[in-house]
Structure 1
């Protein structure tokens, strides 16, 4: 358990110091985290609509922060290139995220053109039925994406690394609320980039 918690802390630390310099990105992660927590609660009541909330609000705000606001140049704080960070990223790097988000966009179109998914499900009736099917498809995509990356990490590194990453992803909403709850305040003060003063002195050599 000690080793598990130590690796979890390392993955969280690397994720923060490498990929969350922008205060806008941090603020969007706060919005994402809060909506994910709501989606977790809704999952027990209506899984399809929980998935719609998670993908349409939580994931879009989270990924918008990374795609549009996070600096992609040389990381002076960590003395690392963007290429290096993308190569060592434990979770979904930008390339993998593009594939995942592409699948997210494609699923509603597939269900519109093939309501029965080639005979696998009963065709939806009306807009509510269509939205319900899309939600379930997105829920399947989310679970599949999670398990697929765990399998990849198990193959490439170890089962422990994969399980730690899965635990990190599932608990990130709660951790992000604690970590970034002050980000909007910093943003209102005009601070667009986190100075990351807490990172200095903890940077490994590359």
Structure 2
């Protein structure tokens, strides 16, 4: 596959396997909007960008995955939840638990070591503590993307790793495009996306 073909495939697999629920899709839409704001802030107010990215965007996003997305057998794609977890290119739910645990442990780590073993200037007040926490979160986010990208270099090759990194970085814009109608469907009482419209629009080779 070319780079763009593989990008399309990774996006399609991610959507069809992990975004059936309209609440999840709607939360992804809100999350995407928060990430776009975070992207705009990162070069001017990195701490604020990290707070918005983790506390709003990531919490909304992962709430949709963990609490609303069905874990039962996927009749639409003829796939079990275990199968989907095993073929997930990026962070599946098990990997997300590890990543979110590291994120949640950051404030405790800073309480135990305010300078984070000499990396940071120790905070002298609550605002400083929040700023240091946010900066650590920012580097955790960057590190998580780079770590999985390099891991995919080894597992699947450089192109697949770069495709996944491109997908992750552009997901907010793509999610706004494809999930902008999700709240409307939800208000109409449609809880799950049957994916029929998506299959009709995709090339035949991806309709598997």
What are the Cα deviations for residues 106-135 of structure 1, in whole angstroms up to 9, with x where unaligned? 011111221011223220121111111011
Alignment of 1:165-180 (within 5 A): 165-180=164-179
* Number of equivalences: 203
Any unmatched runs of 5+ in structure 1?
none
| Cα separation, 2, equivalents of 1:15 and 1:69 | 16
Tell me if structure 2 keeps the 8 A contact 1:77–1:200. no
Can you give the 5+ residue segments of structure 2 that lack an aligned partner in the other structure?
A: 201-205
Distance in structure 2 (CA, Å) of the matches to 1:141 and 1:121: 14
Q: 2: distance between equivalents of 1:151 and 1:44? A: 24
Per the normalisation by structure 1, the TM-score is 0.95
Q: Distance in 2 between matches of 1:198 and 1:80?
A: 19
For residues 31-70 of structure 1, the aligned pairs below 5 Å read 31-70=30-69
Q: CA RMSD in A?
A: 1.2
Shift of the alpha carbon at 1:172?
A: 0.3
User: Does the Cα contact within 8 Å between 2:120 and 2:132 map onto a contact in 1?
Assistant: no
SS state at 1:198 partner: helix
Q: Report if the CA contact (8 A) 1:77-1:199 is conserved.
A: no
Measured in 2, the distance between the counterparts of 1:159 and 1:107 equals 31
1:6 matched to which residue of 2?
Answer: 5
TM (norm. structure 2) is 0.94
Give deviations 1:63-93, integer Å, cap 9, x for gaps.
0000000011111000111111100000000
2:70 is the alignment partner of 1:71: yes
In structure 1, distance between residues paired with 2:182 and 2:46: 30
Measure, in 2, the Cα distance between the counterparts of 1:149 and 1:198. Answer: 31
Match of 1:123 in 2: 122
Supply the distance in 1 between the matched residues of 2:192 and 2:119 (Cα, whole angstroms): 48
Q: Which residue of 2 aligns with 1:84?
A: 83
